[in-house]
Structure 1
Amino acid sequence: MMLMLRFDLHVHSNFSKDGLSSVEDILRAAAAKGLAGLAITDHNTTAGGRRALEIVDKVAPGLIVIPGEEVSTKQGHLIVLGITQDIPPGMTVDDTIKEARRQGGLVVVPHPYNRPRHGMNIPEGADAVEVYNSRYILGMHNRMARRGAKARKLPEVSGSDAHQASLVGSAITLIKAEKNPKAVLEAIKEGKTGIDVRRTPLHIYALQMANGWAKKLRAFFIKISK
């Protein structure tokens, strides 16, 4: 039966270096907010998504988990949904997309055009575009993303880009599909999507940025002290 499902398609756990919350807490938050499912898209690893698949039936029965990865390509970030094998960072966009296809993954362009956040122009071969990212302080890049998606006639999705459990569900993709992962991914590719969004509060975004820089500085000083 076709339903209008509520998904957050861009979530980071503490398997990302800048993630603050455990997979368990993220799944509980998604269930508490009434989501049908979510995608765990940690930076350069599918470990968070794989962990979610292992425990979701115990922690949040009925929640759909789409494992994925936000891959750091040479040109910027790409999200690949529906994969459980890591795609290594540092490859070209074309090679990253080829590897995504080999694994049967769906390619989403997150926060496009925003260079400071590793956004890229929308490449050939993308399946969908994140036209709303709740962590944008200004709306300019979201508007640019939507114009780019419409110009290329690509499906539109949104994501919270949450790095802590409390912000899961800040940006929702509405997906018309049967309630199973394969149907959800097919519906996204076919453009059976809508969005329901709100912006991450500025003070929380600032705290997340500060935490990320603190982790990078700690890693740097540990490295040079060896």
Structure 2
Amino acid sequence: MLFKIDLHVHSKYSGDTDSDPEECVVRAVEQGLNGLAFTEHYSYEASEHAESMREKYEDVITIFRGVEYSAEEGHCLIFGVNADRLLSPYTPIEDVLKVVNEEGGVVIPSHPFRRGNSLGEMLLTLTGLCAIEGFNGANMRAFNDKAIEAAGELGISYTGGSDAHEPREVGSCFTEFREMVSHDNFIDLLKSGRYQGIDTRKVSKSRWFF
């Protein structure tokens, strides 16, 4: 069984969009996804809204929580821990990796080659990365291609996520797991690497103008 999760979704609680989180969930269901992860900017606690929807939609879709954390060098997705309690804002990425891994969580650089807020080439020098976000729905194709190439160089898997800031963007990219994912096995499966990023867009477009 293939299990499809959009691992990178933002709502109005990220502070840079007025997107309603429940509309994002409905869109994910319409797109045939099995799950989505709210990864609000800067704060794990900002995705508290997901808890109230988990039970409501548990028969149709699985809702996960993470955070798009801003390390000193750029953005990364963190799952499996409450980063608000473990990390100060803009902690160096090497320290982020050490703390999150010690606590049993995972770190996945998001849009790693997008200019201005990404880890870039330095990710090739890092140890302890779980995966790399290969397909980001807000990126130009060249940025995603470079991320997938980097994952290959490091010998780790790559994920997919829409980076949605509007409900209509949910599901443009997602991660396809090879087995059913639950809240209990989510982190273990991320660590296993048994998945791949998927880009559903016919033409890779970007709302970022670089």
- The alignment's TM-score, normalised by the length of structure 2, stands at 0.86
Query: In the TM superposition, what is the alpha-carbon distance from 1:8 to its structure 2 partner?
Result: 0.3
Select 2:163's aligned residue among 139, 147, 161.
Answer: 161
Aligned residues: CA RMSD: 2.2
Q: Do the aligned partners of 2:157 and 2:196 also contact (CA within 8 Å) in 1?
A: no
Letter in 2 for 1:132: F
Q: Do the aligned partners of 1:173 and 1:194 also contact (CA within 8 Å) in 2?
A: yes
Check 1:55–1:40 CA distance in 2 against 1; reply closer, same or farther (3 A cut).
same
Check 1:193–1:37 CA distance in 2 against 1; reply closer, same or farther (3 A cut).
same
Q: Which runs of 4+ in 1 moved over 3 A?
A: 59-62, 198-202
- Which is richer in helix? 1
Q: Which residue of 1 aligns with 2:143?
A: 141
Check 1:149–1:40 CA distance in 2 against 1; reply closer, same or farther (3 A cut).
same
Q: Which residue of 1 aligns with 2:77?
A: 79
Structure 2 counterparts to residues 211-226 of structure 1, below 5 A: none
Q: Cα deviations across residues 32-63 of structure 1 (Å, max 9, x unaligned)?
A: 22211111111111134321122222256442
The separation in 2 between residues aligned to 1:60 and 1:29, in whole angstroms, is 15
Q: Which moved more, 1:179-188 or 1:27-36?
A: 179-188
Computing the radius of gyration from Cα coordinates, the structure with the larger value is 1
Question: Any gaps of 5 or more consecutive residues in structure 2?
Answer: none
Select 1:187's aligned residue among 186, 189, 205.
Answer: 189
SS in 1 for 2:15: coil
1:69 matched to 2:67: yes
Q: Which residue of 2 aligns with 1:176?
A: 178
1:108 matched to 2:108: yes
Q: Do the aligned partners of 1:39 and 1:81 also contact (CA within 8 Å) in 2?
A: no
Select 1:129's aligned residue among 129, 132, 155.
Answer: 132
Q: Do the aligned partners of 2:77 and 2:108 also contact (CA within 8 Å) in 1?
A: yes
Select 1:21's aligned residue among 19, 23, 42.
Answer: 19
Letter in 2 for 1:8: D
Check 1:51–1:75 CA distance in 2 against 1; reply closer, same or farther (3 A cut).
same
Check 1:34–1:84 CA distance in 2 against 1; reply closer, same or farther (3 A cut).
farther
Select 1:44's aligned residue among 42, 50, 64.
Answer: 42
Query: In the TM superposition, what is the alpha-carbon distance from 1:163 to its structure 2 partner?
Result: 0.7
Q: Which moved more, 1:75-84 or 1:35-44?
A: 75-84
Q: Which moved more, 1:112-121 or 1:68-77?
A: 112-121
Query: How many residues in Structure 1 have an aligned counterpart in Structure 2?
Result: 203
The separation in 1 between residues aligned to 2:41 and 2:69, in whole angstroms, is 6
Check 1:20–1:133 CA distance in 2 against 1; reply closer, same or farther (3 A cut).
same
Q: Cα deviations across residues 2-56 of structure 1 (Å, max 9, x unaligned)?
A: x310110111111112133122211121122221111111111113432112222
Q: Do the aligned partners of 1:28 and 1:59 also contact (CA within 8 Å) in 2?
A: no
- The alignment's TM-score, normalised by the length of structure 1, stands at 0.80
The separation in 2 between residues aligned to 1:24 and 1:36, in whole angstroms, is 15
